Structures are given as C-alpha cells and as structure tokens.
Amino acid sequence: MTDENGNLSIDFLAGFTIFILAFIWVVSMIPGLMVGLQSYTIDYDAVAYRTGVILVEDPGWPVSPPWEYYIDQQKSNVTRFGLAISKDTPNILAEDKVNRFFCTTAFIYPDDYRSRVIFGDYPYGFNVSLIDLGGQNRTVGDVLPDGYGYIRRPVKIKGTSFATINNTDYITNSSWYIQPDNATTHVFSILIDNPKLLGNITDPAYQIDPAREQITIKITDLRSTITNYDPVINNTTSTVTLSNIRVYKQDGGLYSNVPLTASEYPYIDGSSTRISTMPYPNVADNITLRFNPQFFDRLKAQSSKIYIALGFTVSPESTFLNNTQALPDFNTLDGQLTFDNPNTTPFYYDYNPSNVTQPHLRDAVVEVAVWSGAVTSYGGGGTTPNGTHTIYASAGSGGTIFPIGSVSVSDGANQLFTIANNTHYHITDVVVDGVSNGTISSYTFNNVVEDHTIAALFAIDTFNINASAGVGGAITPNGNVSVNYGASQPFAITPDAGYNITDVFIDGVSNGTISSYTFSNVMANHTINASFAISTYVITPTTPLVDGAITPNTPQTVNYGDTPTFTFTPNPGYHLDTVLVDGNPLPPTTPTTYTFPAVTANYTIAGTFAINAYTITSSAGPNGAISPSGAVNANDGDTPTFNITPNVGYHIADVLVDGGSVGAVPTYTFASVHADHTISATFAANAPISLFSDDFEVDPSSNGWTVSGIDWYTGIPNNGGHSVQMLGSAGAGPDEYIYRTISTSNYSGITVSYSLGARSIDAGEYVAAQYSTDGGVSYTNLTTYVGVYAGTATLVTYSPPTLPASADHNAAFRLRFGIWGSGTGDYGWVDDVQVLGIPD
C-alpha cells in the first residue's frame, strides 16, 4: 500500500534545507553576530596583541587633522586611537597623541576606549599603561585581575619642538631693536616655512611638521628688557599686552591674511583652553604660545610660508620692540609686501638647533592587558529621563573609588565617593569635573543638579635608592634614584681609566668588586656606594745584570700613570747600552737611566752594558807614516802601540800625544786607554854630511885618485898650499885629468863643490868638472870653465845643484876633473873637492 505521505516529508526536508542555507547566509552577512562563539579565554593574548599593534604602529583616525587635536566636544569624530606618528614609523609615538590618549577626563573608560582601540562586541576589560622612561608613567583602565592576556611593546616617544626667544635674539640679532624711536605698538613675526620644514627633513621621526604636531613659541625677558633699557622704569609700572595675533601666508610672491578661527588660536601660558579673545593683557616677563596643528593642517596643501605676527602693546613706550618686521600691508592686503624695515627678517622656526629645540626621541614601554569583560558599561554620563543625574566615577590603576562607574543620583541629592589606594599605591589626585582636588580620600557631591565626573588617580609607591661613587669611577644612574615598588633598578659601576673597583656596598654591606648590581623587587629605600682605587702595577727589574747593576733592584709597585725611573750603574769601563722592557730593546732615557712613560701594565726591566770604546786619532806629517793611522778604535783598558816610520832621507822630528811631546820616538804605546786620544808624528829631512873631501894637501895619486899626467901643484893658484894642475895637449880631451870613485851608497841628495882655475884657454877649450854614475863609462859635465886667458889665474868655487837621483845610492859614482885644451900652454887647476850626501 502506498500513499503520498513520503512526498510531504521530502518537501519539508527541501524547504528546511533552503531555510538553513538562507539562515547561514544572513548570519554571515551581519558582522559580529556570531563573534566569540569560540572560547573567550584564548583570545585575550591575541586581542592584547592586536591592541598593542594598533596603539604602537598606527597613527589613529582621523589623520588630518590628527585625532588628538579634536576637542572634547568633537571626540565622536575620533574613530580609532593610534599613537604612532605615522604609518611609516612603527614604535615611534607622538607625545601629543600619548597625552591625549591618557586624558581620562576627555575619554571615559571603558566605552570610549573599547570602541576606539579594543574593538569587538565582547565587553573586554582592559588596562593600557605606558612607562615613560623620560617622563610620567600613565595608565587607563581597570585594575588587573589574576589572569589576563598581555603584550608589552618597547617604543620611542617623539617630543615636540619648541622655540625659546630671548632678548638676545631680538636685540643683538637686530630683529627688533632697529629703530631708535620709541613706540608703544610692536610686532614680532615668526616664519613657519612649510616647504622647507617638510623638504629638508623627510623622516617623520625627526621632522617638524606643524600640521601634525604642536609648535611652541616662548618669548622671554619682555618686561625686564624694558626695565634694563630704561632704569627709571621698573617692572611694576611697565606693562606688556599681547594685542593681536595675525597670520599671513605667502604663496609664491603673494601675501594674504588668513584669519584664525576660534579653534585655531593658541594656548597661552599653559592655559587649558584656547585664548581667542584679544588683547591678552598683563603679559609677565615671559609668554608661551602653543599652536595646535589645525590651522597649519588647513593650509598645508598650499605649501605656504606662514608668518605668525604677534602684536604687542608696551607701556611706557619703548625702543626695544619696534615694528621692524617684514609684513604685508595691514590695511590694503593687496598682495604686496610692505616692509617697515626691509633689512629685518622674521624669526625662523626651523631645524637650526640654536633657534628651535629639535624633536627628541625617548624610551618608553606600552603595556596592554585584556581580560574577561565583567565590567559595567558605564555609558556616556547622560541625564536619565527620571530626574536623576549620572556621576561617572573612575579609578586609575592602583586603587578604587566607591561607588564606581555610572552612579545615578537624584536631582538635588548628595553623593559621597570614597577613594582607597591598593597596597603599595597612593593617591596622586582626585579630578572632579576636570579640576584637580588633590590627594583626598573622599569627596561628596552636594546638591547634584547635573552630571559630573570624578576620577581617582593613583601611583605606585616609590622608594629612593641613593647611589654614590667615590673618587675614580662612576655609578650609573647616580644620585637619588626613584624606583617603583616592586620594580627593579640596575646600576652599572664603571671605574675611570686607571682605576678599579675596590668594593661595592649595598646598604652598607660589602658585595665585592662587582661591576653591576640590580635591585630587584624594591620594597624599601636602599643605598649603593661604589669605591675605587687607582690601579697598581709591578715593575720587576732583572737581576743580576752582566757588567753593571740596576737601582732599584727589587720589584716596584707603582700607580697607574706613574713614570718610575730606574738607574743603571755600569761597571768601570762600561756604559749602558740598551734597556730591555719586557724583553724589547729601548734606548735609555739618559745615559744611565730609563724613565717609563705613564704606566698602564706590569713590566719587566733589564739592561745590557757595553764596554767603553774610545778613538785614538793617529796622524803623520809629510815624509813619514804612523801605523796604525786614522781613527783607531780601542776598548777601555787596551794598550795600543803606534809605530812611526820616516821616509828615506828623513827622520822623526817629534811625536805629540794629546798635544804633548813624547820625543822623536819610533814607537809609542798607550797605557790602559780610558779616554779618547790623539797621536801625531812629524818628520824632518836628514842633514847632508860630507862623503868625501880633499883639499889636495896630500898627493892625490897616493890619496885614492886616479891621475893622468897631472901635477901636484904648489904654485898659484892653490888653496892651502897645494892644488892639482892639469895641462892641455893636442888631441881629444880630456888631456890631463884626475878622477875618483866615491860611493854614495846609503846617501841621497848628492851635492858636490869644488874650485876650478884656468888660463890660456882658447875658444872651444875648457876645464871641466864631470860626474859619472856608471863607473866612468859616460860623464856628465857639471861645470866648464875657461878662466883667464892671461895673467894670474884664480880659483873659482862652484856648488852645482843637487845631482840627479841617479847619483844617489850609487857605488859607482865618480868625479872627474880634466882639461880639454890644444897645447901644453893651456892650464887648468882644481882644488877643494867635496861631496855631500844625505844619509839614509
């Protein structure tokens, strides 16, 4: 049996399937509808991580103008918190963003934060803290429960730039003090050159971008400068009023006035609201104007130069603030620049560090904790429709306020809040409707007729660690260091060059020579004191030394940087040759000492000695030699001998030792040399002596002469009674002659002398004196003499020049006298023959 019931079931199945598919599609179209079906707990760390990324790496939204410059009433425009200065510079946070983020009176925990940085529909509880290592720690959110998701991100915080303009700037730079006339109205202009600011430096981390960050201008010494220029005036009678602020922009060559809106006026002298009502009277000696970026952001697309012209009115009139700045014509605004003094320039707000304190990065750490959101959604504090008012009470990290959250209070009723700090925390402030009430522990709103806020702020207890260092080093950080309860504080102990750590006392207890110490989990005040001592080194002399000694001869301990001196004493006859420092040879500092340069290590020192060496300068004059000669080296104690040899025919004239004569000695020996000496020898030629002489007073034929026909003559002429007479004859000469061999061996410089006479000598005839060096084979004339032809003959004495060298040292030397005549009537005589020679 069959029926159609089964078809119905299939229809139902098909319809149900379509319904389920449609349901899934719709559900997936609605964001967040099914979010969190998974376990919440595993997401805490991930949500904390995501929140950390948004805070540290994102600049937030809106970007232009930045979200942090929206005033409290405009906070609904802020859709996402982000602290980074730009997308391109993760981990570098903007100080203004940080300040605004932690402004818990403007943004209310948890809703304002949850919707802008935590996100998601699940009501997470959270806490965001910032450890500002160069400023104040901040926190927003609840006290941490036992378990939570967590991330920590080290970051840099970019500080803002600011210019401090003192009277040196506006007087010596002739910016203001130009015109000598007194005036009551003065204008000073500051140039914000956007194209240059954004073009010269493009890295957002160091850029001054007025469209992104506040700029601050502080002008100092206003009234005191008036007083200084006119001593009659004093500060009590002088007044300075900021009468107006005008802004001009320059595009190309054209200038135009740009009126400021109320939301673009600056904050003056730390005011919490903008000062848009002018004049601003009773300026103290200084005035500080902080411009937020809205105005510059409005003009940034035009790449304009912007002049901020501050108009001052001073009383009494003064010269030091004259209207000297380059400004457009106030009245016509015709786009043309009118100069009161074209030589002046505005103050440049730029990258010159002498003008503007540049942005500076400092360390910080962002912490995010997220946990199960068992917190009440407090709402925005609006008035309930039942005639009640809402007081929103919040507590920062480290304490509680009771009651907490949105507290409904009947119109006209009172409401007490009690504030209690957690253990190890203390109350730092209680802010009621944005106004500080100090460190009170309770506060009562009386006769509540409107909504209020009360925020209790706490800070962790801090302890003081007093760090000090003795002479010779440093401890970092130094002085009184404030440390949070339970935190850690490291200290680094660094000795100066040449010093070492002798001890580190922690709370008065020695901890030895440690170079660092960390106070962990600080719960009390502490002290840390480091002491140092100068480093010492040992210089060890090597003993004993050969041929000398060293003083001191024991290891010496010296301080770092000392310059110790060691003295070397050589044995007699020795001197210090080389100093060995760690075995390396070095020259001595003085002949007998070595002084170390500033000592920075251990050393050994030794020395080597060398025997003294002297020079004996030996020299000889002409005609002789001395051996050895020249510069002769002699060691101490040596006994060198010098030989002096004269040349042939010479003899030693004298020997001088150190300038003193020691006689004509052929040798000289120095006794034990201990100094340099000189020795010199001079020579003299030997004196000629007579080798032979004959005055013929003895018959020459019996006296060694060989004679041929001569007479031993007693007639005239003669000297002493006899002479030799020679007669001529026909035929070749010599006709009659006499000769004798006289050995000149051992002699040189032979000279002869003789006397000749002649008579009746005709032409071509002569009487001659001759010598022979070859034993009579050949003769050489010494003298040819013709005498007198008639009358009485006389003897003439001849002394010819020294004979040639062939006559020297000649055993065959011979003298001959003869006559070359033509007949017996020719006469010749010879007498007084002498031969001289210089003995060898």
Partner 1 sequence: MTNTDGQLYTIEGFAAALIMIATAYLVVNATSIYTAGDTHISDMQLEALGTDALKVMNIPVSKDEPSMMQEIIKATPSSGGNNLEFGTNFSYLINNKTGQNSDHIQFSATYTCRNSDNSTASIPLSYSRNLSGGEHAVRVTKWVTVNKGGVAFCGTTNTERAVLVEVLMWRD
**Owner of token pair 């360390």:** 363
Considering only CA atoms, which of 249, 353, 381, 377 is closest in space to residue 305? 249
Min CB(310)–partner 1 separation in Å: 28
For the chain, count helices (H), then strands (E): 8, 60
Q: Which residue of 55, 78, 131, 217 would you call a contact of partner 1, by CB under 8 A?
A: 131
Q: Where are the beta strands (DSSP E) in 159-273?
A: 162-165, 183-193, 215-219, 239-251, 254-257, 267-268
Min CB(117)–partner 1 separation in Å: 14
Min CB(632)–partner 1 separation in Å: 52
Angstrom distances, CA of residue 426 to CA of 32, 350, 398, 701, 778? 41, 43, 8, 158, 147
Non-local CB neighbours of 34 within 8 Å, separated by 6+ positions: 27
DSSP string spanning 728-776? --SSSSPSSEEEEE---TTEEEEEEEEEEEEES--TT-EEEEEEESSTT
Min CB(469)–partner 1 separation in Å: 15
User: Quick one: 8 or 546, whose CB is closer to partner 1?
Assistant: 8
Rule CB under 8 A: say whether 201 interacts with partner 1.
yes
Q: Which residue of 26, 28, 71, 168 would you call a contact of partner 1, by CB under 8 A?
A: 28
Q: Which residue of 183, 205, 275, 506 would you call a contact of partner 1, by CB under 8 A?
A: 205
Instruction: For residues 509 and 528, give the distance between their C-alpha atoms in angstroms, rounded to a whole number.
Output: 9
Rule CB under 8 A: say whether 156 interacts with partner 1.
yes
Min CB(16)–partner 1 separation in Å: 6
Residue list 347-366, contact with partner 1 (CB under 8 A): 351, 358-363, 365
Site string for partner 1, 635-654 (x = CB under 8 A): --------------------
Beta bridge partners, 781, equal 770
Q: Where are the alpha helices (DSSP H) in 445-496?
A: none
Q: Is 153 helix (H, G, I), strand (E, B) or coil?
A: strand
Q: Is 564 helix (H, G, I), strand (E, B) or coil?
A: coil
User: Quick one: 90 or 588, whose CB is closer to partner 1?
Assistant: 90
Q: Which helix (H) or strand (E) holds 307?
A: strand 305-318
Number of residues counted as binding partner 1 (CB under 8 A): 75
Residue 327, CA atoms < 13 Å, CB-side half-sphere: 22
User: Quick one: 309 or 493, whose CB is closer to partner 1?
Assistant: 493
Min CB(475)–partner 1 separation in Å: 12
Rule CB under 8 A: say whether 482 interacts with partner 1.
no
Min CB(304)–partner 1 separation in Å: 24
Phi, psi torsion values for 588, nearest 5 degrees: -65, 155
Using an 8 Å Cβ cutoff, are 183 and 315 in contact?
no
Rule CB under 8 A: say whether 206 interacts with partner 1.
yes
Residue list 690-729, contact with partner 1 (CB under 8 A): none
Q: Which residue of 227, 243, 397, 406 would you call a contact of partner 1, by CB under 8 A?
A: 397
Site string for partner 1, 411-440 (x = CB under 8 A): -------------x----------------
Instruction: For residues 35 and 33, give the distance between their C-alpha atoms in angstroms, rounded to a whole number.
Output: 6
- Candidates 126-134, 283-291, 306-314, 555-563: pick the segment binding partner 1 (CB under 8 A): 126-134
Min CB(254)–partner 1 separation in Å: 32
Cis check for the bond before 717: say yes or no (omega within 30 of 0). yes
User: Quick one: 153 or 246, whose CB is closer to partner 1?
Assistant: 153
Using an 8 Å Cβ cutoff, are 65 and 211 in contact?
yes
DSSP label of 788? B
User: Quick one: 20 or 538, whose CB is closer to partner 1?
Assistant: 20
User: Quick one: 203 or 840, whose CB is closer to partner 1?
Assistant: 203
Instruction: For residues 534 and 794, give the distance between their C-alpha atoms in angstroms, rounded to a whole number.
Output: 115
Min CB(91)–partner 1 separation in Å: 5
Rule CB under 8 A: say whether 32 interacts with partner 1.
yes
Residue list 540-569, contact with partner 1 (CB under 8 A): none
Instruction: For residues 609 and 548, give the distance between their C-alpha atoms in angstroms, rounded to a whole number.
Output: 7
Rule CB under 8 A: say whether 35 interacts with partner 1.
yes
Instruction: For residues 158 and 357, give the distance between their C-alpha atoms in angstroms, rounded to a whole number.
Output: 13
User: Quick one: 28 or 667, whose CB is closer to partner 1?
Assistant: 28
Instruction: For residues 239 and 282, give the distance between their C-alpha atoms in angstroms, rounded to a whole number.
Output: 6
DSSP label of 61? B
Instruction: For residues 204 and 361, give the distance between their C-alpha atoms in angstroms, rounded to a whole number.
Output: 12
Min CB(192)–partner 1 separation in Å: 19
Rule CB under 8 A: say whether 804 interacts with partner 1.
no
Site string for partner 1, 656-695 (x = CB under 8 A): ----------------------------------------
Residue list 80-119, contact with partner 1 (CB under 8 A): 90-92
Instruction: For residues 86 and 674, give the distance between their C-alpha atoms in angstroms, rounded to a whole number.
Output: 89
Residue list 133-152, contact with partner 1 (CB under 8 A): 133, 137, 139, 144, 150-152
Min CB(360)–partner 1 separation in Å: 5
Site string for partner 1, 322-341 (x = CB under 8 A): --------------------
**Owner of token pair 């003789």:** 754
User: Quick one: 95 or 297, whose CB is closer to partner 1?
Assistant: 95
Min CB(564)–partner 1 separation in Å: 29
DSSP string spanning 339-368? ESSTT--PEE-SS-TTTEEPP-EEEEEEEE
Give CA 542 to chain center in angstroms: 38
Min CB(542)–partner 1 separation in Å: 32
Min CB(516)–partner 1 separation in Å: 7
User: Quick one: 12 or 798, whose CB is closer to partner 1?
Assistant: 12
Residue list 506-545, contact with partner 1 (CB under 8 A): 515-516, 520-521
Rule CB under 8 A: say whether 47 interacts with partner 1.
yes
Using an 8 Å Cβ cutoff, are 792 and 803 in contact?
no
User: Quick one: 3 or 181, whose CB is closer to partner 1?
Assistant: 3
Site string for partner 1, 363-392 (x = CB under 8 A): x-x-x-------------------------
Min CB(351)–partner 1 separation in Å: 8
User: What burial class does residue 2 get, using C-beta atoms within 10 Å of its C-beta: 0-12 exposed, 13-18 middle, 19+ buried?
Assistant: exposed
Using an 8 Å Cβ cutoff, are 456 and 401 in contact?
yes
